[in-house]
Structure 1
Amino acid sequence: MTDKKRNASARPRTRHSSGVTHVNEPHHDNFTVVGNHLAQHPELSLVAIGLALHIQSLPEGTPIGIKTLAAKFPEGEIRIAAALRELEEHGYLARPRERLQSGRVTTRTISYNKPKLALAAAAAPVPEPAEPTRPKAPAAPRGPATDLLVGLRAHDSRLLLTERDVHRLAPAVTEWLERGVPPTAVVRTLTTGLPQEPIKHPAALLSHRLTSQLPPHLPAPPPSVTPPRPDPLQTCDGCDRAFRSSHPGRCRDCRTPLAVA
């Protein structure tokens, strides 16, 4: 007896997998290109993703109101309205309200196949017409008296003055400075020997000191005496020596013999 050998199977071995297997055929017409950012969106519901795909596949101008969509699909108006709000929140849909020339208000629906464009358009600020710039008036310079009064609070916090008090007391401080009192001496006069209790009215206290302790003007300096200028040098007509005189002629030695003669 001869042993019969079993014939080997002609079928190729195949791998079994629980994941999806794609059988892709190319589309040549009647198809819509949808990005994976929509088809695999991690935050959109399946109803919103399917509704967005349906809206992107519709021809331009097709009405997509809630009642119109609810008449096509079994989800109902409530779920469709919620899905439309999802698409608006994530930038795939915009429904601005516009007023027609007749006065009637209508809702316009805009579908975006890329949400970044919708978000960028919504976030971009509308440029306002530029107004002509007016030259600013130069700020008035603060004088030494104003700076001195403002700086008093650095010596004693109780001497904090309002802007109105500073402008009111500035002329009195200027009077001290014009009488030759150094700014350090003015500050010392206003900050030395202050009462220990709280100062309720610092401006009144400073005004009293500036008025009651105002020093007199400095005495006028004595007039300067200009020494007389010496006479210019002259050349003696008799001996050719130089001598000082207001007019040319002879020196003293040459004039004496003439006087004796």
Structure 2
Amino acid sequence: MDTRNPSAPPRVQSPTAGHKPPNRQPRPGGLAHDNTRHTARFTVIGNHLAQHHELSLLAIGLGVHLQSLPKGARVDIKSLAARFPEGATRIAAALRELEAHGYLRRSRERVPGGRIVTRTVSCNQPAAARRHAAPEPAPEPAPEPAPEPGPAVVRPEEHARSEPREKRAPRKPLPAVPRPAHPAPVLLQEAAGLLADLRRHDPRLLLSACDTAHLAPGVAAWLERDAGSAAVRHALTAGLPPEGMRRPAALLAHRLADRLPPPPPFRAPAVPPPATHPLQTCDGCDRAFRAPAPGRCRDCRPDHLEAT
């Protein structure tokens, strides 16, 4: 890829009889070259790539860039997207173009550690790449042993989606939430309904049944401390980050524990007012008196008369 020798100047052809040399004067306004001979840090690129009629301009530029890189350079999509402004989607499409036209070979291999990696080879001659990709069958059909992984042309690209499922890190549990002193079923049901209604205020707060069951006791602890539904809803939904909320249930659990209000102050039970009986008319003296039922007043009762 990094050739030190520039290409030799073309041999001058002798004019044949009856052949008129073409007019080599450039067209007015056409392309002109101001060339300086390279003596170091240059790469020879074939016109079959630089002037390809089917490759896109991005694929041609990316192919030239790959041929100019030294061995061991990182050419995975993530590294190229960090190097150029086109983005991962366009770079991946350009790599597929180069692969389809024989300028790139990619193969997946399993390294001794068990990971699946991609080995990438840049080809400066697409015809040679096609011959390498489809070799003629050997006269003897004996299977050849798999080659030992040698020095790669480029460093292998790691693919997270190819890793075995058992190696993925387990999901972290949600933070602990407060618990009500008296977890009445009615209180927990009200708390679950409040959590289910949060998605109306922010679609990102659509909680699963498992997350709702974990958060409901924390909301019930707020309601038990005389925090109304509106106050709990405001504490959970106000000031949410505009982006980057990857796990809403964890954020709600943190707020329930961090912003828990204090218990309400102790209030002595109110003394009930004395009972007021209706007015009654005494059956003995026709005097009005208060009593729960009709009858005689205190002065006309037999027990009072005997006492006097």
Per the TM superposition, whether the score is higher than 0.5 is no
Larger relative contact order (Cα-Cα within 8 Å, sequence gap ≥ 6): 2
TM-score (norm 1): 0.43
Between structure 1 and structure 2, the one with the greater Rg is 1
